[in-house]
Amino acid sequence: MDISKTGQFIAHARKERKLTQQQLAEALNITGAAVSKWERGLSFPDVSLLEPLTTVLDISVIELLRGEHQTGSQISTEEAEQSVRDALHLLMADLEKNNVPVVVQKFFAPQYYQKAFALVLFFVGASLGITGGILALLENPEGVPLGVWGLSILIFAFALWIWYRLIVSRNKQTIRNGIKMMATATKIRQNHFTDMPFQKNTHPFIIKFKYVFEGKLYQGRSPMLWERPELTTKDIPIFVDPTHPRRYFMDMERFQ
């Protein structure tokens, strides 16, 4: 499978349908930059996009994988087998790229980031504080500043934990007193500004949406989502605070 050849084929098929890169991207609920990368041979579509992409371009999956139109009505056994191998290779690569361990997903769940980082900082601060205390008892000059750093980190971790509890409390109140309604997704994209080692080269997803409350249009965005929602997602369940319509809480159960 030649990614560069496939990219040129996608560009050719798109132009045959008289579609711009942006129009193709909107049809697939992705960014125009992603389509541009495909056509330049810099990346290959995700496995989940193969079927909708071939539907929009009116080509077969085998033609997409081979990067050329199928001239005959039938293909040989060897060609079919190679196409299946290519598809399986893409599937395994996609799983390896996007499969974040469950334990990591739970610990760094989108609605619990503050809690996770507070716990991490608490561990770091406690370690530095204990180490600094031991060094101070041994009359090591580095003990006191190390202890001060540890105490400072502990204070910050405690403040972060309080912030997390306030967010949880506000969200529970919004669910209890708010109005459940369906928002409309306007954009689903990957967030490329939060790379961390535990993400295994993946990017969490962000859903931008809009909703109408008492005749006024409001916009919102989801927390970071580990697993990509279906690209055809249009309805987003949210709870809206009737006293503060700009305050909402997204129903995360829909995407877990």
Nearby residues of 218 by Cβ (< 8 Å), 6 or more positions away:
210, 211, 212, 245, 246, 248
pLDDT category at 194 given cuts 50, 70, 90 is very low
Encode 73-90: b = buried (16+ Cβ within 10 Å), e = exposed: eebeeeeeebbeebbeeb
Q: Is the pLDDT of residue 9 over 70?
A: yes
Residue among 32, 35, 77 at smallest CA distance from 53 = 35
Q: What is the DSSP letter of 229?
A: P
pLDDT of 201 reads: 42
pTM: 0.46
89/113 same-domain check = no
- CA end-to-end distance (rounded Å), the chain: 34
Range of the domain at 27: 3-98
The pLDDT > 70 percentage for the chain reads 70
198, pLDDT greater than 60: no
Tell me, yes or no, whether 122 and 163 share the same domain.
yes
CATH number at 67 reads 1.10.260.40
Total domains in the chain come to: 3
d(CA 131, CA 101): 32
pLDDT tens for residues 102-148? 555 555 555 566 777 788 888 888 888 888 888 888 888 888 888 88
pLDDT digits (tens, 9 = 90+) for 48-97: 777 788 888 988 877 887 788 776 555 565 666 566 656 656 554 554 45
